[in-house]
Amino acid sequence: MIHFDDVTFTYAEKSEPTIRRLTLEIPEGELALVVGQTGSGKTTLLRAINGLVPHFTGGTLQGRITIDGRDTATYPPRELADLVGVVPQDPMSSFVTDMVEDELAYGMECLGLAPAVMRRRVEEILDLMGIADLRDRPITTLSGGQRQRVAIGAVLTSHPKVLVLDEPTSALDPGAAEEVLAALQRLVHDLGVTVVMAEHRLERVVQYADRVILVPGGNAPITWGDPAVMMLSTPMAPPVVHLGRLAGWSPLPLSVRDARRSASGLRSLLIGQQPHLRSVRSAPVPVAEIDSLVVRYGQRVALREVSITVDAGTITALMGRNGAGKSSLLNALVGLVPHAAGSVTFHAAAAQDHPSRNVLATVGLVPQEPGDLLEAITVAEECRHADRDAGCAAGTTRALLALLAPEITDTTHPRDLSEGQRLLLALTIMLAARPPLLLLDEPTRGLDYPTKHRLAAILRDLADAGHAVVLATHDVELVAEVADRVIVLADGEVVADGSTTDIVTSSPMFAPQVAKVLAPGPFLTVDQVRTAISEESA
């Protein structure tokens, strides 16, 4: 179905090719998963499939890409629209119309299908994607998961043979991600659609894939193969694979179910063991106190009398589905949204000796759209600005960035960075200021596993140095790795608040893979299991 024949692609202003001598064939009806580092060229590979690369982006493409016999050199994206459906990374920015039903019909209108056909297909897709109750809703009123399903439905109405998705679940809560993946499964199984999908959250998708395409970035060649084989060696692997490697299971488990069937020995080995948790100060020092905080947007109440105390030296995770009030809470803490009632008190002791004389002396937030934070024209300049804003020594931000993302170069324009790299830069700017209270809104969107580990280590260091960290996230694996405390929000209220182990193991939705495999044991991460095993054998 998809043939890459000795393809090399170079962006106009780059000297090194992004794709180098790739020969690849994806047969019909396969679900191929594209895996790779942040900024390694996954998006470029996906966009080459429908000709957006190079027709839309510019650059030089050598070799041939044919989709069902059509050469992308002679067919621009619009002439491939009936064959390839593309769902971009951020569906909201790619909607053309403002109502759900019109959006579903848009592609078919462009293809010139007969009105009767369009009418029938819209009804079919509404049912297939489970969005029939949203048909006459304005798109702006939909939640993240609903938008993603509408975006997929909107390309499916043209009956493409190939569906290309760029991180379809990265912005979604675990429940919404499951809905989207279930819909994709149905497409592959029932309709024989060929699906090519890039995703960082392998724990969600790798068990569905027929093939993994690894885009390592740099000058290393693109490789592919059976998921279980590919997962043996790559660092881009979900926790269940790391656990399987640690325990030496063969074949390597890709899903929680496979792992559980092999895990009886490991479970009995770990009986009676307790994981080592990060030690938290016994006498808590509050950094911020939130007292019956109410936030409302017109008639909609985003937070209802929420009271939380954040202590120094702790990492707190805010969880809950899209629209539960997580971002509202973070924004209210830095004063970006007005408080309708209640109060937020910062205990200034920590801020006394902070070098900067502004808001960063009390609290720093990395927003959900990190691109807005960047305004310089090179990465180096951005870092210098950040040093000045934070009042820290020159070069601090740049050094930290080198630690988090060694591949980012000084002269790059921040807008040319990949989604994940931009997030890293924004994170670094805030981390460099070392505010007593650091807030992160969805800090792992578009980040690969190694980068996530580095981020987790930096957050733990910050907490050990007495800073408080609050992160709003859907990433249960990150929560298991770093958080001491989890607060679950629903509909603007706190529905659960307790230690990470208690909260995540009690909920199937929020449990990390290791906890699911080793239940009822209290282990959450592979590192905890590794320590426990080495102690057992010692």
Partner 1 sequence: MTITGPVALGSQSLPRWIHPGAWWLWALALALAASRTTNPLLLILIVTVAGIVVYRRRPNAPWARSFSFFLALGAVIIVIRVVAQAILGASFGTVLVVDLPSVQLPTFMAGLTLGGPVYLESLLGALYDGMRLATIIACVGAANSLASPTRLLKSVPAALYEVGVAVVVAVSFVPRLVEHVVSTRHTRKLRGRTTRGVRAIAGSAVPVLHGALESSVVLAAAMDSRGYGRRAPVSTMSRRTTSAAVLIGLVCVVIGSYGLLSPGMPAIVAIAFILLGLFGSAAGLWWASKSRTRTVYRPDPWWLPEWLLAASAIGVVVAFIYVGNMFPALLVTSTMPPAIPALPMLCVIALVCAATPGWFTPRPPLHSSTPVVVEVRT
Interaction with partner 1 in 79-118: which residues (CB under 8 A)?
79-82, 84, 86, 88, 90, 93-98, 101-102, 105-115, 118
Return d(Cα 249, Cα 383) in angstroms, integer: 45
Q: Which is nearer to partner 1, 438 or 463 (CB)?
A: 438
Q: How many CB atoms lie within 10 A of CB 136?
A: 9
Return d(Cα 360, Cα 163) in angstroms, integer: 44
CA angle 191/195/199 to nearest 5° reads 140
Residue 252 Cβ, how far from partner 1 at the closest point, in Å? 32
- Tell me if residue 407 falls in helix, strand or coil: coil
Q: Which of 26, 52, 126, 177 binds partner 1 (CB under 8 A)?
A: 52
Q: Which of 64, 78, 120, 257 binds partner 1 (CB under 8 A)?
A: 78
Letters for 490-519 (x = contact with partner 1 by CB under 8 A, - = none) are: -x----------------------------
**CA max distance for the chain:** 73
Q: Could you say which residues in the range 312-371 bind partner 1, by CB under 8 A?
A: 321-323, 331, 334-336, 356, 358-361, 364-365, 367, 369, 371
Residue 171 Cβ, how far from partner 1 at the closest point, in Å? 13
Distances (CA, A) of 53 to 7, 151, 376, 437: 12, 21, 27, 42
Q: Could you say which residues in the range 151-210 bind partner 1, by CB under 8 A?
A: 154-155, 158, 175-176, 179
Paired tokens of 282: 């016994």
Q: Which of 14, 21, 119, 189 binds partner 1 (CB under 8 A)?
A: 119
Residue count (the chain)? 538
Q: Could you say which residues in the range 261-320 bind partner 1, by CB under 8 A?
A: 300
366-372, long-range: CB < 8 A, 24+ apart? 366/423, 366/426, 366/427, 366/430, 366/439, 366/440, 366/441, 366/443, 367/426, 367/441, 368/327, 368/441, 368/442, 370/422, 370/423, 370/425, 370/426, 370/427, 371/414, 371/415, 371/422, 371/426
Q: Could you say which residues in the range 413-432 bind partner 1, by CB under 8 A?
A: 415, 429-430
Total residues at the site for partner 1 (CB under 8 A)? 85
Paired tokens of 455: 């981020």
Q: Which is nearer to partner 1, 215 or 390 (CB)?
A: 390
Q: Could you say which residues in the range 366-395 bind partner 1, by CB under 8 A?
A: 367, 369, 371-375, 377, 385-386, 389-390
Q: Which of 143, 378, 507, 531 binds partner 1 (CB under 8 A)?
A: 143
Return d(Cα 82, Cα 67) in angstroms, integer: 11
- The reply to whether 133 sits near partner 1 by the rule CB under 8 A is yes
Q: Which is nearer to partner 1, 91 or 227 (CB)?
A: 91
Closest CA to 126 of 108, 110, 145, 103: 103
Residue 508 Cβ, how far from partner 1 at the closest point, in Å? 13
Give burial (CB, 10 Å; 0-12/13-18/19+) of 359.
middle
Q: Which is nearer to partner 1, 137 or 278 (CB)?
A: 137
The one segment of 27-35, 63-71, 128-136, 462-470 that binds partner 1 by CB under 8 A = 128-136
Residue 523 Cβ, how far from partner 1 at the closest point, in Å? 28
Q: Which of 17, 36, 145, 512 binds partner 1 (CB under 8 A)?
A: 145
Place of tokens 């590979």: 45
